[in-house]
Amino acid sequence: MEVSPWIVAADAEGLLAFLAEVFGAEEAGRVPGPDGGIGHAETRLGASTVVVMDAHDGWTPHPSLLRVAVDDVAGVVRRAEAAGARVVTPRTSLPFGDDVARVADPWGNLWWVHQHVEDVGFDELLRRMDDPASSETMAGFELSLDAEMRRRTGGTEQP
């Protein structure tokens, strides 16, 4: 089984360029839309396919929330910022052994960028989750997502 996200974008061409620049995505093919835009484009990010298309007249663009495993979180975040993304959550070392950051691209997609840095056994994970510093880290990580989602819906940001 394979799951491939679809992103309906205003300026699919720009989004495809962003994916290539930031993640090294390789476009597999595209079909023009009836209005001359992109009706369907497939781009490969590692073993995954992301489908991108332009929003048609009368459509609202629909961004996605996506998680990507990478070898260099810091490098991806730097490239994303250089390509116009905004950092939502700075690089954070989480108790389960991943360094994670979140960036919002100019099309409204929110990218969780994960780098596995350490194998953590179950007992060690439980110990870390009981540590107040880990709890504080996790709480801050979740608050940054909450603030972003509230910002997008016009809700009140929480401290």
Give tens-digit pLDDT for 53-74.
Answer: 999 989 999 999 999 999 999 9
Domain 1-62's class? Answer: alpha beta
Answer yes or no: are the C-beta atoms of 113 and 70 closer than 8 Å: yes
Note the pLDDT of residue 159: 41
pLDDT tens track for 70-90:
999 999 999 999 999 999 999
Contacts of 114 (CB under 8 A, 6+ apart): 67, 68, 69, 70, 73, 98, 99, 100
List, by residue range, all CATH 3.30.720.120 domains of the chain.
Answer: 1-62
Give CA–CA dist 37/158, Å, rounded.
39
* Other C-beta atoms lying within 10 Å of the C-beta of residue 82: 10
User: Above 80 in pLDDT, residue 155?
Assistant: no
Amino acid identity of 44? R
User: Above 90 in pLDDT, residue 35?
Assistant: no
List, by residue range, all CATH 3.30.720.110 domains of the chain.
Answer: 64-159
DSSP per-residue codes, 9-66: ESSHHHHHHHHHHHH--EEEEEEE-TTSSEEEEEEEETTEEEEEEEPPTTPPPB--EE
Domain 64-159 has CATH 3.30.720.110: yes
